[in-house]
Structure 1
Amino acid sequence: MKHLVILGAGTAGTMMANHLVSKLPKAEWKITIVDQYKIHYYQPGFLFLPFDIYTEDQVKKEGKKFIPKGVNYIQKKIERISPEANTVTLDADETLNYDILIVATGSKIAPEEIEGMAGPEWHKSIFDFYTYEGAKALRDKLRDWKGGKLVVHITEMPIKCPVAPLEFSFLADSYFKHKGMRDKVDITYVTPLDGAFTTPKAAQALHHLLEEKGIKEVTNFNIEHVDYDNHKIIDYAETEVDYDLLVTVPTNMGDEVIARSGMGDDLNYVPTHKATLQSKDYENVFVIGDATNVPTSKAGSVAHFEAEILTENILRYVAGKPLDAEFDGHANCFIETGGGKALLIDFNYDQEPVEGSFPFPGIGPLRLLKENRMNHMGKLAFRWVYWNMLLKGIPIPFVSSAMSEKGKKIEAIV
């Protein structure tokens, strides 16, 4: 009996378990998935929790219910990967041997990386919304907040869902308008980038929305520390931005187990071949989702597209065939813009977000880089798709893992 071990039962790991359980011969392969956490979170929902759009129960479920029958589920902390020995050490010195390893350990925020961020004002006047606890604490703060200077800040790239901080800014604008207190709130968006997004076309469209909504933009801001006593963030050029309420996206890093195992880069992401999703250092190790260092968005849609490619490459590896399935960096993201509207962007390694129709060329019904209510409904519908299709490895109709160029005004990334 051969052993395939999946580390992490988040979005990517759970999808891989569901994909592979029906495709690997049960008489030859045992599949084991390991995760220390009992609860599975719908992380895109954390964006909506602070604004009372989603409830707590809508963004969390017991993780085990999504692990398919036939997969051995272990709820334990992963202590170390020993790729030279093909073993994984769990809590209490339990050891798993593997023939194939899939690393799906994700990423998390590390506010301790910035001086003063995780200090005494953490979840008091300084908040994140990238964790369940942070989003809940921010919700409770916003319910009674009387207004002032709201700063939405990104520490550094890469981060999970690069558009989420912008979405938070837009939803905040809409939220305070609805409460009749927008005139009491000054919103500033602070980013280390030289524009609102990572690609020029989308940055242009999103900058226009920031201006339209009266949200100030501070670019090229590389934070050095948080002066929580005086409510300021200060960058290496000694630029200061004052705040009354700081909503920050801290440094995102891969899991500590990657550092303990000596398998990652400076941010604990695993060096990964961007097309095949095979580890660059170990032939029988594959990496998926936020754990990789591939140059595309860390988002649920990316993990979904990667899972389809990786499943094919795992099967080819098992059969002793070359890994010829290639991931093109496809990402597909709804961007909430407030007021019941949203944008949709579709892009990959070589193609930046452009205008067009999705998923049907010339028909849509969704429009790319166009703010409308249909896209907003698509964003909200994705929660049902996530729990009922995505996690279970069920293909989403008419949406392929490779980005289609049909129906789009193609302009390659220079």
Structure 2
Amino acid sequence: MKNLVILGAGTAGTMMANHLVKKLPKNEWQITIIDQYKTHYYQPGFLFLPFDIYTEDQVKKVGKKFIPKGVNYIQKKIELISPEANKVTLENEEIINYDLLIVATGSKIAPDEIEGMKGPEWHKSIFDFYSYEGAKALRDKLRSWEGGKLVVHITEMPIKCPVAPLEFAFLADSYFRNKGMRDKVDITYVTPLDGAFTKPKATKALHHLLVEKGISEVTNFNIERVDYENNKIIDYAETEVDYDLLVTVPTNMGDALIERSGMGDDLNFIPTDKNTLQSKDYENVFVIGDATNLPTSKAGSVAHFEAEILEENILKYIKGEPLDASFDGHANCFVETGNGKALLIDFNYVQEPVEGTFPIAGIGPMQLLKENRMNHMGKLAFRWVYWNMLLKGVPIPFVSANMSTKGKKIEA
């Protein structure tokens, strides 16, 4: 009996377990998935938690219920990967041997990477919303906050869901308007990029919305430290931005396990073939989701599309066939813009977001790069899709793993 081991039971790891349990011969392969955490979080919901749009129960469930029958589930901390020896060491020095390894250990915020960020004001006047604890603490703060300078800040790229900080700024504008106190809140969006997003056409549309909503923008801001005593963030050029309430996206890093195992880059992301999803250093190791160093968004939709490609390549690898299933960097993101509306963007490694219809060419019903109510409903509906289809490896109708150009206004 051969062993396929999946490290991480988050979005990507759970999807791969559900994909592969249906395809691998049960008399030849044992699938094992390992994760130390009991709770599975719907991370896109962290954006809505601070604004009381979602409740705590809507963004978390017991992870084990999504692990399919026939998969060996181990809830323990992973201490070390030894890729040369094809083994994984768990807590209490338990050894798990593997023939094939899929690394799906995700990424985490690292606020301690920036001086002063995770100091005495952490979750008091300085907050994140990329963790369950941070989003919940920020919700409690916003309920009673009386106004002032709100700064929404990105430390550095890459981050999970690059549009989420913009969405937070838009939702904050809507939130304070609905509370009748928008005139008491000054919102500033601070980014290390030279524009609102990583893609030019989307940047143009999103910058327009910032202007329309009266949100100031500070670009090319590379933070050096947080002066929490004087409520300032300061970059390497000594540019200062004052705040009363700082909502920051700290440095995102791969799991510390990757550093301990010597398998990652400076941010603990694993060098991965961007098309096949095979590790560049170890032939029998594959990587998926936020654990990779791929030049695409770290988002649930990307992990979903990668899972379909990786399923094909795992099956080909086992048969000794060429890994010709190729991932194109496909990402599909709803961008909340407040007031019950949203944008939708669809792009890949080479094609930036463009206008058009999605998912059915010429029909939609969703419009790309257009702010409307339908896209907002799609964003909210995605939570049901996530729990009931995505995690379980159920195909989503009309949505292909690689980006379709049909129905899109793509320039020659």
Superposition TM-score tier, normalisation by shorter sequence: over 0.9
- Alpha-carbon displacement from aligned partner over 1:224-246 (angstroms, at most 9, x marks no partner): 00000000000000000000000
Deviation at 1:139, TM superposition (A): 0.1
Deviating beyond 3 angstroms after TM superposition, the runs of 4 or more aligned structure 1 residues are none
Partner of 1:214: 214
- In 2, Cα distance between equivalents of 1:60 and 1:318: 35
Partner of 2:252: 252
- In 1, Cα distance between equivalents of 2:24 and 2:320: 14
Contact persistence 1:354–1:411 (CA under 8 A): no
- Alpha-carbon displacement from aligned partner over 1:44-90 (angstroms, at most 9, x marks no partner): 00000000000000000000000000000000000000000000000
Partner of 2:362: 362
- Alpha-carbon displacement from aligned partner over 1:86-138 (angstroms, at most 9, x marks no partner): 00000000000000000000000000000000000000000000000000000
Deviation at 1:360, TM superposition (A): 1.0
- In 2, Cα distance between equivalents of 1:319 and 1:411: 40
State the one-letter code of the partner of 1:175. Answer: Y
1:49 aligns with 2:59: no
Deviation at 1:356, TM superposition (A): 0.5
1:74 aligns with 2:56: no
Partner of 2:374: 374
- In 2, Cα distance between equivalents of 1:23 and 1:360: 29
SS in 2 for 1:142: helix
Partner of 1:389: 389
Deviation at 1:202, TM superposition (A): 0.2
- In 2, Cα distance between equivalents of 1:62 and 1:352: 37
1:311 aligns with 2:311: yes
Deviation at 1:296, TM superposition (A): 0.3
SS in 2 for 1:153: strand
- In 2, Cα distance between equivalents of 1:322 and 1:87: 25
State the one-letter code of the partner of 2:102. Answer: I
Contact persistence 1:351–1:411 (CA under 8 A): no
For 1:97-246, list aligned pairs within 5 A: 97-246=97-246
Partner of 1:92: 92
- In 1, Cα distance between equivalents of 2:370 and 2:362: 14
- In 1, Cα distance between equivalents of 2:411 and 2:336: 24
- In 2, Cα distance between equivalents of 1:323 and 1:391: 24
Alignment: residue pair count: 412
- In 1, Cα distance between equivalents of 2:360 and 2:398: 8
SS in 2 for 1:217: strand
- In 1, Cα distance between equivalents of 2:246 and 2:108: 19
Partner of 2:274: 274
Partner of 1:13: 13
Identity between Structure 1 and Structure 2 (%): 86
Deviation at 1:261, TM superposition (A): 0.2
Judging changes above 3 Å, is the alpha-carbon distance between structure 1 residues 206 and 29 closer, same or farther for their aligned structure 2 residues?
A: same
Contact persistence 1:191–1:221 (CA under 8 A): yes
- In 1, Cα distance between equivalents of 2:402 and 2:252: 26
State the one-letter code of the partner of 1:29. Answer: W
Deviation at 1:411, TM superposition (A): 4.1
RMSD, aligned CA: 0.5
Deviation at 1:304, TM superposition (A): 0.1
Q: Which runs of 5+ in 1 are unaligned?
A: none
SS in 1 for 2:174: helix
State the one-letter code of the partner of 2:21. Answer: V
SS in 2 for 1:271: coil
SS in 1 for 2:9: coil
SS in 2 for 1:134: helix
TM-score normalized by structure 2? Answer: 1.00
- In 2, Cα distance between equivalents of 1:409 and 1:82: 48
Q: Which runs of 5+ in 2 are unaligned?
A: none
- In 2, Cα distance between equivalents of 1:237 and 1:305: 40
- In 1, Cα distance between equivalents of 2:281 and 2:329: 21
SS in 1 for 2:380: helix
Contact persistence 1:330–1:346 (CA under 8 A): yes
State the one-letter code of the partner of 1:396. Answer: I
State the one-letter code of the partner of 2:377. Answer: M
Deviation at 1:277, TM superposition (A): 0.1
Deviation at 1:361, TM superposition (A): 1.0
- In 1, Cα distance between equivalents of 2:69 and 2:53: 34
Deviation at 1:334, TM superposition (A): 0.1
